[in-house]
Amino acid sequence: MRKWPLVAGALAGGGAYALYNGQTPTAQGFGKTFRGTPGHGGLMALTYDDGPNTAWTPALLEVLAEHDVKATFFAIGRYAEQEPGLLREVAAAGHAIGNHTYSHVSMPLHTGETIRRELRATSAAIEAAGVEPASAQGRRLMRPPYGHRRPGTLQVLREEGYLAVTWSVTLWDWSRGVTTEKIMHKAERQIRGGDVILLHDGCDVAMGYDRSHSVEATQQILARWKEREGYAFVTIPEMIEATGFEAA
């Protein structure tokens, strides 16, 4: 019996397993992350990555205030350092602030030492702005850029006192040719309650990136789902506490 096909099949299977658990936001094979309780319960969390962004974060804060909803913002460290006043505005409005690395690195491609530097530099920038980073179960919140992780990545996060937060609903508001209509089409297809919803108020490419469609979609999501019985929007720390999630 030839062994090579079996070996090749095992390697292919292992590669598929690694790809799935390293990039799929709801996967848990590499370690526990918080992704909500998709499909169960009425709590939902709006989350925004890659800010603060001088062009669109203020408009987003206005929309959230209009609906009296608190969200969770995962800040890029260099932007927090560049715009501490705007970050303070986000926190002062009652929103939770988490870590999204200093320069938006894909963490599985970097050493533990580099990841630690990215986390610590971002934490320092947030705290230098006079903002208290959000936490749950004694751990600060962190979202891996692109959702990418590996076992070593999650181990470093645990050692640094972080809880990894992924998501269950991807609205692709960063994609080429995005429109508010396209975002909302995906929202209607995916949101079922218990969701952590991924959107963006900034972009790792540059400050001032156009996120008008994300802001408009937020307005429509809140208008549609707040009026549906049984749904409520909360921050990630509130959702973790309410759902009884236990970090590994």
In tens digits, the chain (248 residues) has pLDDT values of 455 443 344 434 567 887 888 788 888 888 899 999 999 999 999 999 999 999 999 999 999 999 999 999 999 999 999 999 999 999 999 999 999 999 999 999 999 999 999 999 999 999 999 999 999 999 999 999 999 999 999 999 999 999 999 999 999 999 999 999 999 999 999 999 999 999 999 999 999 999 999 999 999 999 999 989 899 999 999 999 999 998 87
Please indicate, yes or no, if residue 2 is contained in any of the structural domains: no
Catalytic residue flag (residue 67): no
Partners of 46 in beta bridges: 197
Distance CA 119, CA 30 (A): 20
CATH code of 68's domain:
3.20.20.370
In a domain? residue 52? yes
Q: Is residue 248 part of a domain?
A: no
Catalytic residue among 95, 100, 200, 213: 200
Q: Assess if residue 193 is contained within a domain.
A: yes
Q: Which domain holds residue 202?
A: 7-243
Structural tokens at position 137: 């179960």
Q: Domain count of the chain?
A: 1
| Residue 213 annotated in active site | no
Q: What's the confidence (pLDDT) of residue 58?
A: 98
